[in-house]
Amino acid sequence: MVVASVSCLYGIGNPVEFQKNVITIKRDQQISRTKLLHQLVQSLYSRTEADFKHGNFRIKGDTVDIFPSYADDAFRIHFFGDEIETIEQFNIQTNKVIEEYDRLNIYPANMFVTSPDVLQGAIKDIQDDLVKQHDYFKDIGKHLEAKRLKERTEFDLEMIRELGYCSGIENYSRYLDGRLPGTRPFCLLDYFPRRLLNGC
């Protein structure tokens, strides 16, 4: 008998693209604050100045606070010029430092993270299929469906261009993964090493 979470079956992003967007930082590492911020945006984190919540980062002088989507506490990176001076985990309610780290992996804020070149290719493929499906609906007299499909998909594409994701992005996973029609999406089991699954 196998007992598994629904996440083992639910479609999620490409594990290779996910791994590419994991940010590893170390104490005393030479990296500009601007470069780290760019990497955070690429990993689908959003900058905020007000409501600090999961998947956000904020900047205060020479420090960058990051609140990962998978953690209860946030991380604070102190810079001295272009060098990471300290890495701290802190409680967002009390601001109390919980622990200091020499090294930290920051995982993407969204499972459907992907690199810019893959994203551009996916957008083109979605647009191509949109034109075909829109024309098909019009040809069979379903003008309302054609209009709704066009409006919704164009809105989603605009969000993907601006933010790198949209609400319901899992509906476009085939394009983001470069999979053929009818092939299954990636799931949690794809994130485990093959040797681990073979041993089960």
Residue-range domain boundaries for the chain:
13-106, 116-198
Nearest to 33 by CA among 56, 64, 60, 58: 64
**pTM, rounded to two decimals:** 0.80
Q: What is the per-residue pLDDT for 137?
A: 97
CATH topology for the 13-106 domain = Penicillin-binding protein 1b fold (3.30.2060)
Q: What is the per-residue pLDDT for 90?
A: 96
Q: Which residues of the chain have pLDDT under 50?
A: 1
Nearest-angstrom CA–CA distance, 12 and 46: 20
From residue 138, alpha-carbon distances to 27, 146, 155, 199 in Å are: 59, 6, 20, 52
Q: What is the per-residue pLDDT for 184?
A: 86
Sheet of 63-67: strand order equals 46-47, 56-60, 63-67, 74-80, 83-90, 97-101
Q: What is the per-residue pLDDT for 11?
A: 73
Nearest to 107 by CA among 67, 72, 159: 67
Q: What is the per-residue pLDDT for 7?
A: 62
